[in-house]
Each structure stands twice: as structure tokens, then as C-alpha cells.
Amino acid sequence: MRLTRDAVADEYRWVRERADVTVPLINEVRADLGDRFDADVDEVTVEQYEREADAVFADGDLAVNVAALVGLLRELDVAGDYPGFVVDEFLGRRLAGTIAGAQPLGLLGEATFHYADLLTHSDDDTAGLDDLDAALAAGFQTRLPGWDWTEGASPFAVETRE
């Protein structure tokens, strides 16, 4: 794999164009988690997803890492599949956390990846594609608004002397 500015731009376009798969999966994950945690969670629109993909890829340092993980998962296939299970899970988890953002969102993105992964299945022969779809859904659903607890200031913030 060789990452160049053009390669990052190609992955950006692929992620953005994947909205038809990613957005319904985001909304399925949000609905299911909302039911499980008795929370009202807003659905995500294609436009919100696309704007957030724009934001992720506008940050060059973040974009190159996301592009690398996306590219690896798009191409990843392992003979016999089981040995690849660990690799694609690892890459998917890291992609979800990277997209989600700084802590605690990064950790939530990683945890949500495993949940989203249970909801995905691709007929594609590439083992990593399911994990890529789950990672995109988990990462973007975590960083996008819609969860009440992420609205407003944290009740744990401490007043400082500054």
C-alpha cells in the first residue's frame, strides 16, 4: 500500500459514496442501542454523514490514518478466513475509534464497532468489507450528534482557577 494525497482523496470519495450502506447501518445501530438503553436517539441523514466524512478527511493527519485503515480493510482477505478474523476485527476496531475521535468517544466507537459488526454481512468475497462497514457505522454514529448525553456540558466538569 502506498499512501499519497491522491490515494487519500480516493478513499475519501469511497467513504462518502458508501453512505447508501453506512447510513442505514448507523440508524439500525442507533435504534437498537436506543431500545436497549431506553434512550431516544436521533437518526442520521445522508447529508450529516457526508458532512462528517468531509470533516474527517479535511484534517490531513486524521485523513491519512483513516484512509490507510479503509484501504487495508477494502482489500483484506485471508485464506481460510479464521486467521483473518483477528486482523479484520483489529483494523475495524481501530478505524471506528479513529473516526469517533478523542476519548471517551474513541473508546465508545471501538465498543460500538463490535456491536455493529454483529449486524453486518456482505456477500463480497473480501473478508474485511463487513468490518469496514461496521467500523464506518460505529465511528460516524459515535461522533455525530443525536445522543442526549452528548448535548451540553458534562456534569463532571470541575471549575478551575483560570
Residue 135 in grid coordinates: 467500523
Q: What is the mean pLDDT of residues 60-89?
A: 86
Q: What is the mean pLDDT of residues 49-71?
A: 98
% of residues, the chain, pLDDT over 90: 71
End-to-end alpha carbon distance in the chain:
47
Convert the pLDDT of each residue in 81-113 to its tens digit: 666 578 889 999 999 999 999 999 999 999 999
pLDDT reported for residue 82: 63
- pLDDT greater at residue 20 or residue 119: 20
Across 9-23, 45-59, 65-79, 94-108, least confident range: 65-79
| Statement: residue 121 has pLDDT above 90 | no
Which pTM was predicted? 0.92
Judge contact between 49 and 145, C-beta under 8 A: no
Would you give the DSSP letter of residue 41? B
| Statement: residue 122 has pLDDT above 80 | no
pLDDT reported for residue 76: 84
- Cα separation, 51 vs 30, whole angstroms: 19
- pLDDT greater at residue 84 or residue 114: 114
Please work out, in degrees rounded to the nearest 5, the angle formed at the alpha carbon of residue 54 by the alpha carbons of 48 and 58: 150
pLDDT reported for residue 84: 59
